[in-house]
A and B are shown apart, each in its own frame.
Chain A
Amino acid sequence: MQLIKDQKIIDDPQQFIADDQPLPSQGNITVSLARWQKDRTQLLKTAGKLGVRLEPTDATATIADDLSKLALVEVNFPLYTDGRAFSHARHLRHHYRFQGEIRAVGQFMADQVFYLSRVGVNSFQLADTEKLPIALSTLKDFSSSYQ
């Protein structure tokens, strides 16, 4: 599946493993926070880049100590109106100084990509990949900011 990362449209090198699927022993995999907490030891042996997906109700503090082991944190939008992902991304970037990839996933809009980029999200997996070019173009909507 394609996504935007660092202002380019690329093929997704990462694979999300649902909670009821077996964990592969290698590859770049992303799991839910619950799966991470349950299978952390096994996951850390995986040969590949690791990611954790945060739901709006998850707290960033729960993965704070593990951030150095993660290449990717996903912030999920069950609904585009659920703005908690914005604060999660902000916390990860500014409070925990996370340097890895922060990816928006789920039901967000192409027209939210600019604000997401401003709180530290640098990759965008839109449900509708046809919207990737327009999402990419919206990153240039504003040339400065007040905050």
Chain B
Amino acid sequence: MYQYNDTDQTLINERVAQFKNQTERFLKGEIAEDHYRSLRLMNGIYIQTHAPMLRIAVPYGLLSSVQLRKLAHIARTYDKGYCHVTTRQNIQFNWPELAQTPDILAELATVQMHAIQTSGNCMRNTTSDPLAGVCIDEIADPRAYCEIIRQWTSFHPEFAYLPRKFKIAVTGATHDRAATKFHDIGLHLVKNHSGECGFIVYVGGGLGRTPVIGQVIKPFLEPKHLLSYLEAILRIYNLFGRRDNKYKARIKILVREEGLENFTQLVEAEWATIKDGTELSQDRINAIQAHFKPPAYETLSSQNNGYSDQLQNDVAFAKWVKYNTADHKVSGYRAVYLSLKAPEVPPGDLTDGQLDAIADLAEAYSFGEVRTTHRQNLIFADIKLTDLFTVWQKLTALNLATPNIGTATDIICCPGLDFCSLANAGSIGITKEINAALDDMDYVHDLGDIKINFSGCMNGCAHQSVGNIGILGVDKKGVEWYQLTLGGSSENDAAIGERLGPAIAKQEITAAILDILDVYVKERLNSDEHFLTTVKRIGLDPFVEQVYATH
């Protein structure tokens, strides 16, 4: 993974000093509350229901074992012993003291980490495919471009006070695992007919109150023009994005109101004035790519007798391999998901002890690296087949091996009313309730690939509008209700879920979810027909009938 050079380290250290000074001036009353708010946000600090929340950037989801141990230390020293993985691959702490946050940032800087631009109306952390570099459907590795974008977005002087936040995601595989069409800018690495790499550029996607699928603004952008094209889009957005209403301030609204054609013309005209002379050199691209060279893989066979026997003899292990591991482009290896969705655990949470243990396992079995995923799990990207059984046993002991990746209990969930000052309704409690109701793993496996996304308010942090089943908490006169949507997807078949009907009371929401799953099982053509396919084929009516007949 990328290693800081002296310039990177100096910049991060200078940022720590800058924010420490700003916080000291604020605490002395020399910076107005309102002004300090925007400064702390650009250093990842929100004021939440109970305490400040600190969001730490995990650039495109890559973490080293050293960084994991530092996170464990921060969880122990400054928080209540745990942290939370977000849908944008970042890490959040929910209980730090405001006055201590500069110290936390100083600790992070010692392991090449920071919280820069993880909130505020600026360019946020760039996200990517958590299987980048190892997946079998990869066209080109996106990580070097992610790093180039990370550097360009960091401390960008012109785009720090945008109309609203701005998120970029990059993928280099045929299967979109980074929800790129729901980002302000989504970049897909592709190859043209001459075999040259470039980007399809999507613009104007987004979730939240007004979910919109991104549209293609550039069908093929040469890598050398990547930054100038991003700059042109950002400048047009900065100048013309709406600033009169924060709910209409994202680029998706500008693209919609302007129309894609006009918007594209504005961007192209701006780009024409800056593209020449600002190209990324191939040397620079090569130098960054050198940080993402494949690790020292052993030459192994894809067949291994010991592993085959283990699969044969241990049903639980075989199930875990089926659900929680993915094919690897190097023979003899698999990528392993660490499920952060064990029943009884708030989705995406990790304790300090787990963080330390994961660091040890990463060093012993996966070249010292871990990745965070968009669906709030972790990945060891490079596990030898011959190590899988041991890794499974160790992960089981850590409660990180629930074989439910991609299934109905792998729920994306926001912190909800328990932690968040924006939330209208609880989410973690109901997720536990749904988990408890789906305690029969065979039933969950039979249901197959179903993505349930659950947000406690319409800001949509858990991407409920693109869940195959979306749950949205709403407040009705101080009472928590839940709105259901069906048929959403954040992948290649990007779609926004359709509303099932009136909101459902808290005490009936779990039963309603079970009804939906029940209708699916009855209506699917066979066990190979995915939930999403069934919903598309039969429409909402059969689901509406059963859910609202009984509730």
Contact = CB atoms under 8 A, between A and B. Distances in A.
Interface in B1-33: 7, 10-11, 14-15, 17-18, 22, 25, 30-31
Contacts of A145: 11, 155, 157
Given A81-B38, A141-B18, A144-B11, A86 B158 contact: yes
A142 B161 contact: no
B464 interface: no
Interface string A40-59: 00000000000000001000
Interface in A106-147: 109, 111-112, 114-116, 118-119, 134, 138, 141-147
B247 interface: no
Interface in A47-83: 56, 80-83
A-B pairs with lowest CB-CB distance, top 4: A83-B161, A118-B157, A115-B157, A146-B151
Contact of B161 (A81, A95, A141, A144): A81
A5 interface: no
B121 interface: yes
Interface in B32-82: 35, 38-39
Contacts of B235: 87, 90
Interface string A83-111: 11011001000110000000000000101
A115 to B, nearest CB: 4
Contacts of A109: 31, 35, 38
Nearest to B18: A141
Nearest to B8: A146
B159 interface: yes
Contacts of B273: 95
Given A141-B18, A146-B154, A84 B239 contact: yes
Contact of A86 (B39, B152, B160, B274): B160
Contacts of A111: 22, 31, 35, 39
Nearest to B25: A134
Contact of B35 (A80, A84, A118, A146): A80
B420 to A, nearest CB: 23
Contacts of B15: 142
Contacts of A115: 155, 157-158, 160
B10 to A, nearest CB: 6
Given A83-B160, A111-B31, A143 B14 contact: yes
Contacts of B121: 81, 83
Contacts of A114: 157
Nearest to B15: A142
Contacts of B7: 144
B155 A143 contact: no
B238 interface: yes
A75 to B, nearest CB: 12
Given A86-B160, A87-B235, A147-B157, A80 B38 contact: yes
A80 B7 CA distance: 29
Contacts of B22: 111
Given A95-B273, A146-B155, A86 B161 contact: yes
25 contacts: A80-B161, A81-B121, A83-B160, A83-B161, A83-B162, A83-B163, A86-B158, A86-B159, A90-B235, A111-B22, A111-B35, A111-B39, A115-B160, A118-B158, A119-B157, A138-B18, A141-B14, A141-B17, A142-B15, A142-B155, A145-B155, A145-B157, A146-B151, A146-B152, A146-B154
A142 B16 CA distance: 11
B245 to A, nearest CB: 13
Contact of A146 (B11, B17, B30, B162): B11
Contacts of A81: 38, 121, 161, 243
B193 interface: no
B536 interface: no
Nearest to A147: B156
Contacts of A84: 238-239
Nearest to A131: B30
A119 B14 contact: no
Contacts of B155: 115, 142, 145-147
Nearest to A144: B7
Nearest to A56: B243
A112 B22 CA distance: 12
Interface string B254-274: 000000000000000000011
B244 to A, nearest CB: 11
B173 to A, nearest CB: 27
Interface centre among A83, A84, A118, A144, by most chain B C-beta atoms within 10 angstroms, is A83
B11 A86 contact: no
B157 A87 contact: no
B83 to A, nearest CB: 27
B11 A83 contact: no
A147 B155 CA distance: 8
A94 B231 CA distance: 13
